[in-house]
Amino acid sequence: MIRATLLFVTLTLSYSAWALVPPDYQEPPSDFSAEIEAGLQINTGNTDSSSFNGRTKLVYDTTAYRQEGVIKAYYAADAEKTTSEKYDLQLQSSYKFYSGYVFARGDFIKDRFGSYTRSSTVSTGYGFDAISDNNTRLSLEVGPGYRYNLPAVTDDIPDPAADRDIILRTAAKFEQRIHEYTSFNADLTAEAGKENNTLTLDLSYKNTLFQDWAFKIGMNVKYTEVVPEGSKQTDTVTTFNLLYTFQ
């Protein structure tokens, strides 16, 4: 009698559990997502050098708002000294409505060995999705902004004055899902001002290795029309990173 009662209770509880949590149940999608990636290179022997780059992207995306932040860091050194050190912070807040979105954005760069050691751009404007489906997305943005650039110190100009400029910022953000495990991204940003013009192209190719881990190849190319004497107009950074995505 006792065994029969225990068996009945066990079956009843099991049935109730399956009724509450079906076997194909999945957690609802989260509004928050993040990407963390890093790459490290160390050379020894004939050449002693090391380099590191890292990137963290945080996104909070709801029906009405999208908040996005990206932090990038680049560092390189040889046996004698540091040869590259750069930090990049990007923040954007967008409010969505039926035909697109309005946004406020800030870009802040500290580049120890760049033609401009400090650069800050704040902008606002309007954006919309020109293409948006399961595999392809193209977003376009345009709006005014303000840019602050501090040139690098040179022997001729030991105390350079900062450049301040009102700009028009335009951007195109392209995402293409090639297949289930592979995607390609291309972001093109132009800043046109009275004192200077810049053009930035950010490319990346991502291939999922397993679950939330992926291998990513990235390239960032920035062209600056007016640079201090002795500096190059084009800067290029190429990265090979391991990326982890969670949400």
- Report the chain's mean pLDDT, rounded to a whole number: 87
* Domain at 29-246: CATH architecture: Beta Barrel (2.40)
Cα→Cα distances 214→52, 183, 228, 244, Å: 18, 11, 39, 6
Task: Give the pLDDT of residue 61.
Answer: 95
pLDDT for 27 beyond 60: no
Alpha carbon distance 112, 152 (integer Å)? 8
Mean pLDDT of 211-226: 93
Say what the pLDDT of residue 22 is. 52
Average of per-residue pLDDT across 81-91: 94
- pLDDT tens-place string over residues 125-156: 999 999 999 899 999 999 999 999 999 887 77
Q: Which of 15-24, 65-74, 133-142 has the lowest mean pLDDT?
A: 15-24
Burial class (CB in 10 A: 0-12, 13-18, 19+), 234: exposed
pLDDT at 23: 47
| Whether residue 198 has pLDDT greater than 60 | yes
* pLDDT reading at 35 higher than 80: yes
Q: Mind listing the pLDDT tens digit for each residue in 155-173?
A: 778 888 999 999 999 999 9
Residue 14 has pLDDT above 60, yes or no: no
Q: Provide the pLDDT confidence category of residue 47 given band limits of 50, 70 and 90.
A: low
Q: For residues 26 and 29, what is the distance between their CA atoms, to the nearest angstrom?
A: 9
- Mean pLDDT for 61-67 is 95
Q: Does residue 7 have a pLDDT over 60?
A: no
- Arithmetic mean of pLDDT, 180-198: 95
Q: What is the pLDDT of residue 58?
A: 97
Distance separating alpha carbons of residues 219 and 74, to the nearest angstrom: 13
Q: What is the pTM of this model?
A: 0.84
pLDDT value for 239: 93
Per-position DSSP letters for the chain, written without gaps between them: -HHHHHHHHHHHHHHHHHHHS-TT--PPPPSEEEEEEEEEEEE-SS--EEEEEEEEEEEEE-SSEEEEEEEEEEEEEESSSEEEEEEEEEEEEEEEETTEEEEEEEEEEEETTSSEEEEEEEEEEEEEEEEESSSEEEEEEEEEEEEEEEEPP-SS-SSPPPEEEEEEEEEEEEEEEEETTEEEEEEEEEEEESS-EEEEEEEEEEEEEETTEEEEEEEEEEEESS--TT--SEEEEEEEEEEEEE-
Mean pLDDT of 46-61: 88
Q: Where are the domains of the chain?
A: 29-246
